[in-house]
A = this chain, B = another copy of it.
C-alpha cells in the first residue's frame, strides 16, 4: 500500500515499512480458508516459536470442561501479577489462529502472568455459537478455581466478539465477573455496520468483504441473523457489573467504529473504560512485538490492568 509524506510524518519508520508491504489476504471464497490457514500458520509458527524462546515460556496443553486450553507460564511471575490470571481469546476472523497466538505469548512474557488461552473450535469445522459456549465453559471452570477478582480477560479482533458475547452470558447466568477486560481491535458487530467499514476498507490488512465472508458465511452461516444479540453483542443489553475495560484501535483499523461504539456502550453503563487509538495503525497492530506503536499500546494496557488490580 502507498503512503503520502503527510501520513509517513506521524508514524514510526517501522510502521511505514509495514504498511508499504501490506497485501490484503484473499479470504473471499470458501475454498481458500484451508489454504489461507496453512500459509498464515506457517508464518506465525516461526514468530511464535521465537517469542516462546525469547520469554522462556512454558506451554502446557490441557483440557478444561472438554475444551482444549493452552496454559502459558512465564519463567517468573511478576510481583504485581502474583495470584492473577489472564483469560485469552485469540483472533483470526473465526477461521484461523490458535491459542499460541502472539498476543497470548506477549502478555505472558511482558506482564509476567499465567495466561489461559482457549483453543476454541474454528469455523467452518464449528459454527456460531460454539466458540462462545466453549469459552464460557472454560471461564465457568476457571472462576470455580480462581477468584474472579484475580482474572482479567484479553481478546483480539474476532476474539472480541466471542469475549463480549461470553461476558453477556456471564451476566445472564450471574457467574462471578472478571475484574477487567482488554479488547484489542475488537469485532463486536457482525452486520458490518460502521463508518470505518467504508473509509478504511482497502487501507487495512484485511478487507471488509473478506471479514464479512468469514464472519457471516463461514462462522454464522445462512440461518443466523447477524443482528442476533450473541452474534453482534454491541446490541446486547449489558448490565453495570461489566468489567472495567480497555479498548485499543488505530485510525487505519476497518473496525475502528466497533471500538468507538463499544467505548460509549461501556461508559454509559457507568463502568470505567479507556479508549486507546493509535495514529495510522491497522487492524491487529498490537501484536507486532517490535513495532513502537504496538509496544506503547501494550505497555499502556499493562499499566492500566496493574492499576485496576490495585483498586
Interface residues of A (CB under 8 A from B): 4-7, 9-11, 191-200, 203, 251-252, 256-257, 260-261, 263-264, 267, 275, 277-280, 296, 300
Q: Do A278 and B251 touch across chains, with their CB atoms under 8 A apart?
A: no
Contact of A251 among B7, B196, B280, B296 (CB under 8 A): B196
Query: 9 nearest interchain CB pairs?
Result: A9-B193, A195-B280, A195-B251, A6-B193, A260-B277, A260-B279, A10-B194, A10-B193, A7-B195
Q: Do B256 and A251 touch across chains, with their CB atoms under 8 A apart?
A: yes
Q: Do B10 and A195 touch across chains, with their CB atoms under 8 A apart?
A: yes
Q: Please give, as numbers and ranges, the residues of chain B lying within 8 Å of A199 by CB-CB distance.
A: 199-200, 203, 251
Contact of A252 among B193, B195, B263 (CB under 8 A): B195
Taking the closest CB of chain B, its distance from the CB of A7, in whole angstroms, is 5
Given A199-B251, A264-B279, A275-B277, 11 other A-B residues pairs in contact with their CB atoms under 8 A = A6-B198, A7-B197, A10-B261, A11-B195, A195-B252, A196-B251, A199-B199, A251-B257, A260-B278, A261-B279, A267-B300
Instruction: List the B residue with the shortest CB-CB distance to A227.
Output: B9
If A195-B251, A256-B251 touch, does A277 touch B296 (CB 8 Å cutoff)?
Answer: no
If A9-B193, A251-B256, A257-B10 touch, does A198 touch B277 (CB 8 Å cutoff)?
Answer: no
Give how many copies assemble into the complex. Answer: 2
- Distance A128 CA – B178 CA, assembled complex (angstroms): 52
Q: Please give, as numbers and ranges, the residues of chain B lying within 8 Å of A5 by CB-CB distance.
A: 193
Q: Please give, as numbers and ranges, the residues of chain B lying within 8 Å of A10 by CB-CB distance.
A: 193-195, 257, 261
- Distance A195 CA – B4 CA, assembled complex (angstroms): 9
Q: Please give, as numbers and ranges, the residues of chain B lying within 8 Å of A263 by CB-CB distance.
A: 277
Q: Do A194 and B278 touch across chains, with their CB atoms under 8 A apart?
A: no
Q: Please give, as numbers and ranges, the residues of chain B lying within 8 Å of A300 by CB-CB distance.
A: 267
- Distance A275 CA – B273 CA, assembled complex (angstroms): 11
Q: Do B197 and A6 touch across chains, with their CB atoms under 8 A apart?
A: yes
Q: Please give, as numbers and ranges, the residues of chain B lying within 8 Å of A252 by CB-CB distance.
A: 195
- Distance A257 CA – B197 CA, assembled complex (angstroms): 18
- Distance A198 CA – B203 CA, assembled complex (angstroms): 11
| Central interface residue in A4, A11, A200, A264, by most chain B CB within 10 Å | A264
